[in-house]
Structure 1
Amino acid sequence: MNSKQKNKLILASGSPRRKEMLTASGLEFLVIPANIDEIPKTNESGKDYVKRNAFEKALAVTKQVSPNDIILSADTIVVTKNDVILEKPLSEEHAENMLKMLSNESHLVYTGYTLMQNGTELISRVIETIVTFRKISADEIQAYIASKEPFDKAGGYGIQGKAMGFVTNVNGSYTNVIGLPLAEVLVDLTNFAGIKPFAIK
């Protein structure tokens, strides 16, 4: 274990992108994906929804780890300007409809994350990023869907992948759009869990 890392870190997510970001930050961790029902409650805002999901994911993994372990969980969604929550598309038609909604518009990306130890919440936050898309043609949408990239990503796109050419502006955390607001998470891991990545002395 990293000499700076006193507590064991558990990533309660199967996201390869979150795993890559934490690994790039010099952290050592175990991956234990959390399985919860992710369904918005009636009149629940996007921010409240991702915050609740992150908390429930951390809680779901608590019984599988030691009391001293630190659990990091996260949930990311896309919300249109009309407050429509877009999670991972369930079909090609679903993905097409999502991308049409995002085309030539700005939307919000929310990631909620929780740090938990022994069933106790250390910190929970929701980070917001505003992303603007250029107009996407019907042919581009079909080609992107054919690449299969949309299907494991909130909002039906990956900003770090083939959809990067759709984006004209990012206002806020770029890594938040990928699935984890890394700068904020690293500071909170240091301050609330005593886990220091190599970049923080």
Structure 2
Amino acid sequence: MNSKQKNKLILASGSPRRKEMLGISGIEFSVIPANIDEAPKKNESGKDYVKRNAFEKAVAVYKNFSQQENAIILSADTIVVTKNDVILEKPLSEEHAQNMLQLLSNDSHLVYTGYTLLQNGAELISRVIETIVTFRKISNEEINAYIASKEPFDKAGGYGIQGKAMGFVTNVNGSYTNVIGLPLAEVLMDLANYANIKPFQ
């Protein structure tokens, strides 16, 4: 470990995109994916849902895997939400993905990422970051071709802004990295302020 990074960091996520973004920052960390029931509760808002999921992921990793004293656990959860606060999770089928993309076509939607920093079972900070994304009108032919690429199926809302769907996007209002799955600027500031873990050391 970098001698300047005193606290060990654990990323409680198996997402390759989160791992890549955090790695680019020069911070050293290990990966221990969380395994929780991620189903939304009845009448739960999108913001409450991602905040709860992120916190529960961090707690699950702390209880089940991390016995290392003072280790910092970073967890995150990202969802796509319509303007009417309908949560769009990862599509379960081609038809499900098609319905999602048709819903997002020619309109704006919200992307929420909730994240938590936990140390020794105590919450250091939890936040929810919001980004507004606008799609151009997408033809059914484009939607079917995109679904055939298989890209939608491991992504909230059925699309990846950093992948083949980037051509659907006409505007991003807020954090771009938030849409990929981790609001990196905010996370790095909180790691420095709450955990004394700083990038690029």
When the two structures are superposed, what TM-score results if normalisation uses the length of structure 2? 0.97
Aligned 8 A contact 1:4 1:197 in 2: no
CA deviations 1:99-122 (Å, max 9, x no partner) are 000000000000000000011000
Find the counterpart in structure 2 of residue 107 from structure 1. 109
Q: Secondary structure at the match of 1:109?
A: strand
- 1:162 maps to a residue whose letter is K
CA deviations 1:116-164 (Å, max 9, x no partner) are 0011000000000000000000000000000000001000000000000
Find the counterpart in structure 1 of residue 186 from structure 2. 184
Q: Secondary structure at the match of 1:59?
A: helix
Q: 1:4 offset after TM fit, Å?
A: 2.7
Find the counterpart in structure 1 of residue 163 from structure 2. 161
Find the counterpart in structure 2 of residue 36 from structure 1. 36
Q: Secondary structure at the match of 2:128?
A: strand
Find the counterpart in structure 2 of residue 2 from structure 1. 2
- 2:126 maps to a residue whose letter is S
User: Could you list the runs of 4 or more consecutive aligned residues of structure 1 that deviate by over 4 angstroms after TM superposition?
Assistant: none
- 1:18 maps to a residue whose letter is R
- 2:27 maps to a residue whose letter is L
Runs of 5+ in structure 2 lacking a partner? none
2 CA distance for matches of 1:144 and 1:122? 40
Q: Secondary structure at the match of 2:27?
A: coil
Q: Secondary structure at the match of 1:114?
A: strand
Find the counterpart in structure 2 of residue 91 from structure 1. 93
Aligned-residue CA RMSD (Å): 0.8
2 CA distance for matches of 1:78 and 1:178? 11
Aligned 8 A contact 1:77 1:110 in 2: yes
Runs of 5+ in structure 1 lacking a partner? none
Give me the identity figure in percent: 86
State the aligned residue count: 199
Q: 1:3 offset after TM fit, Å?
A: 2.9
- 2:130 maps to a residue whose letter is E
Q: Secondary structure at the match of 1:93?
A: helix
CA deviations 1:22-65 (Å, max 9, x no partner) are 11000111000000001111111100000000000000000211
Superposition pairs for residues 41-80 of structure 1, below 5 Å?
41-63=41-63, 64-65=65-66, 66-80=68-82
Find the counterpart in structure 1 of residue 138 from structure 2. 136
2 CA distance for matches of 1:101 and 1:49? 21
2 CA distance for matches of 1:32 and 1:83? 30
1 CA distance for matches of 2:178 and 2:57? 18
2 CA distance for matches of 1:3 and 1:173? 31
When the two structures are superposed, what TM-score results if normalisation uses the length of structure 1? 0.97
